[in-house]
Amino acid sequence: MNNPELNQIRPEDRPVHSWYRFVLSFPPHLVQEYVDRFQIRPPAQLLDPFCGTGTTVVEAKKLGIPSLGIEANPMAWFAGSVKTDWTPDPSGLVDTAQKISIAAAPLMAETRESHWHTLSADRQRLVLSNSISPLPLHKTLVLLEQMKHHAPPAYIRHLQLGLAKAVVNSVSNLRFGPEVGVGRARQDAPVLEAWLTEVEAMAQDLTTVQSNRGVPAVIHQADARQLLRVLTPNSIDAVITSPPYPNEKDYTRTTRLESVLLGFLGNRQDLRRLKEGLLRSNTRNVFKADQDDRWVANHGEIQRIAQAIEDRRVALGKTSGFERLYSRAVKLYFGGMARHLAELRGVLRPGAQLAYVVGDQKSYLQIMIRTGALLAELAEGLGYEPVGIDLFRTRLSTRTGEQMREEVVLLRWPGRMPPHPYPFGDDNSPGG
């Protein structure tokens, strides 16, 4: 039975979490469940190495638990960092927004289209075609310009995040279902009104969380496969996370418009650098020099799945460049996860408990990938103790109508390295 409500955010959990969320982000109540099960209490430190827009870290801060996050996507990192900053004065935030709106309103009213603000050619090429209409874009760029002129440093990041959410939900032509696409064009949009609504909601939320504003919560913009570059060895007591799944979802497209508007992406070179820092979960971020597949060169089941995908591709006569990469993308995904789990060992304390939310997939020519079971096997080979796999929910495949499992893989780190620390690697040596 399909149960999408399990992935929905509950009304009582909306404060702060709702400032900006990915579509299909896993819900705060799932974090609460595993915090309770793992009996995580201060001063224990919680980590989310694939933290997205910060669900685990925000919820940990709400619960009074010190936490850390790792996120490579700069827009998601920005959102999570703002959502864990509860220092702005709520009334000052709203007053600043109102002053900026007064300054921006007459500039937004420019009727000569030749005088409207636009994106540069490089930036325009990065966004989905027709993702925002000319007049709403003009108004949005005017508002961003006025923020830079008039917003104090204490408020500008919150004001920018409020606009990012307003643009996606109320200003742009984007639609999510769950893939990002372009819907009916909005020739005009109430940019100021939508933005002020988001800022006022932020201010209201800030008044409710002040008692925990001092709880440590830091999100690093970094690669989850290179944790020791930013984290202290032997410092983490628990992990609750949801990494990307092995499918054809290009996660950079989900945040592309706001990433360009806020200046995180300015050209194709910026986009390539972003993709190079991400786990390889789809063919759009596979590169010739990638070597993470070496980590699973000797893993029989992953190699079997990759070969089955390639055999079906040949049988079906699929010859596009992306289709030719399907089997390699699967090996790179699991190799990247093995590399991540190997690196993670260095930051965990003995007895650390871990929860990974992942989903089964059939994105690659309908070959089943049991993601949770494979990750548990990889982790066991790297010295982790598998504790179990919980069924979180089932979700309906829009392509086949099949019920797909979404699971929570539970692990424990015993604190000692196995005799063969890289058992599935090419010649038992790390790739990458």
In a domain, residue 76? The reply is no
In a domain, residue 366? The reply is yes
Please count the CA atoms within 13 angstroms of the CA of 321 that sit on its side-chain side: 5
φ and ψ of 176, to 5 deg: -125, 130
Residues in the chain: 432
Q: What is the predicted pLDDT for the residue at 155?
A: 98
Distance CA 334, CA 324 (A): 18
Q: Is residue 191 domain-shared with residue 288, that is, in the same domain?
A: no
Q: Is residue 307 domain-shared with residue 413, that is, in the same domain?
A: yes
Q: Is 205 left (phi over 0), alpha (psi -120 to 50) or beta?
A: alpha
Q: What is the predicted pLDDT for the residue at 431?
A: 59
Last residue of a domain, one of 163, 187, 208: 208
Q: Is residue 184 domain-shared with residue 295, that is, in the same domain?
A: no
Q: What is the predicted pLDDT for the residue at 403?
A: 86
The ranges of the chain with pLDDT < 50 are: 1-2
In a domain, residue 175? The reply is yes
In a domain, residue 396? The reply is yes
Q: Is residue 420 domain-shared with residue 296, that is, in the same domain?
A: yes
| Chain centroid offset of residue 375 CA | 19
Last residue of a domain, one of 152, 180, 208: 208
Q: What is the predicted pLDDT for the residue at 1?
A: 41
In a domain, residue 8? The reply is no
Q: Is residue 318 domain-shared with residue 428, that is, in the same domain?
A: yes
> Do residues 19 and 83 lie in contact, with contact meaning Cβ atoms separated by under 8 Å?
yes
Q: How far apart are the first and last CA of the chain?
A: 41
In a domain, residue 75? The reply is no
| Chain centroid offset of residue 212 CA | 24
> Do residues 84 and 217 lie in contact, with contact meaning Cβ atoms separated by under 8 Å?
yes
Whether the link from the prior residue into 178 is cis, omega within 30° of 0, is yes
In a domain, residue 36? The reply is no
Nearest-5° Cα angle at 360, 323 to 356: 120
Last residue of a domain, one of 174, 208, 242: 208
The number of beta carbons lying within 10 Å of the beta carbon of residue 423 is 17
Count of structural domains within the chain: 2
Q: Is residue 341 domain-shared with residue 430, that is, in the same domain?
A: yes
Q: Is residue 191 domain-shared with residue 298, that is, in the same domain?
A: no
Q: Is residue 98 domain-shared with residue 184, that is, in the same domain?
A: yes
Q: Is residue 303 domain-shared with residue 411, that is, in the same domain?
A: yes
pTM for the structure as a whole: 0.95
Full residue range of the structural domain in which residue 148 is found: 90-208
In a domain, residue 248? The reply is no
